[in-house]
Amino acid sequence: MVIKLNSIIVTPLVVVVIILLHVSAAQGGSYPLNITNPVVIALGQFAVAEHNKAAKTKLEFREVIKRYVRPRYSILYYELIVYAKDDDSLHYYLTYLQREIIWSKPLVLTSFEECDSGNESNVRCNLN
Ligand SMILES: *[C@@H]1O[C@H](CO)[C@@H](O)[C@H](O)[C@H]1NC(C)=O
Ligand SMILES: *[C@@H]1O[C@H](CO)[C@@H](O)[C@H](O)[C@H]1NC(C)=O
């Protein structure tokens, strides 16, 4: 259900992003994502849903905190920080997604890790 919604919503975003990126012709740069945009929220929901499937967890998506998309040739690399509920507590997760656009490959989750507050992985998540 979530996945179906995503493929509908995410495709138009990708098209818009691609147009913008091709106009700027700045391969290799990073572009901030609008975290209140429903399309970006759908990316966060997709990441949590895929992680739940793979790791047999039951995280509940809350919101996307921040991050960017980095185009490289025909692949868009998304880096997101997602805020999600695990049982009774809320946690931040650093997650990476990617999508090949020319051949319209599906969105793929490549990494999903908790940002552990109080050690260097929190610094990597750069929550402050
Ligand atoms: C971000 O997305 C929201 C929802 O689509 C929109 O209302 C808002 O204007 C956007 N902000 C920017 C800076 O584009
Ligand atoms: C920081 O937290 C991560 C995730 O829990 C853990 O894998 C890593 O070993 C921790 N690093 C240190 C230095 O404690």
Ligand 1 near 37 CB (within 6 A): yes
Ligand nearest to the CA of 16: 1
Ligand nearest to the CA of 38: 1
- What is the per-residue pLDDT for 101? 85
CB 16 within 8 A of CB 55: no
Domains and CATH numbers, the chain: 2-125 (3.10.450.10)
Q: pLDDT (tens digit, 9 = 90+) per residue, 91-104?
A: 889 999 999 888 88
CA distance 18 to 26: 11
DSSP string, 54-93: HHT---EEEEEEEEEEEEETTEEEEEEEEEEEETTEEEEE
- Using CB atoms within 10 A of its CB, is residue 58 exposed (0-12), middle (13-18) or buried (19+)? exposed
Give me 72's structure tokens: 């490289």
Q: pLDDT (tens digit, 9 = 90+) per residue, 45-69?
A: 999 999 999 999 999 999 998 777 8
CA of 5 relative to ligand 2 center, distance in Å: 34
- What is the per-residue pLDDT for 18? 52
Helix count and strand count (H, E) for the chain: 3, 5
Residue 21 reports pLDDT greater than 60 = no
The residue behind tokens 């960017």 is: 68
Q: pLDDT (tens digit, 9 = 90+) per residue, 33-45?
A: 888 889 899 999 9
Ligand 2 near 121 CB (within 6 A): yes
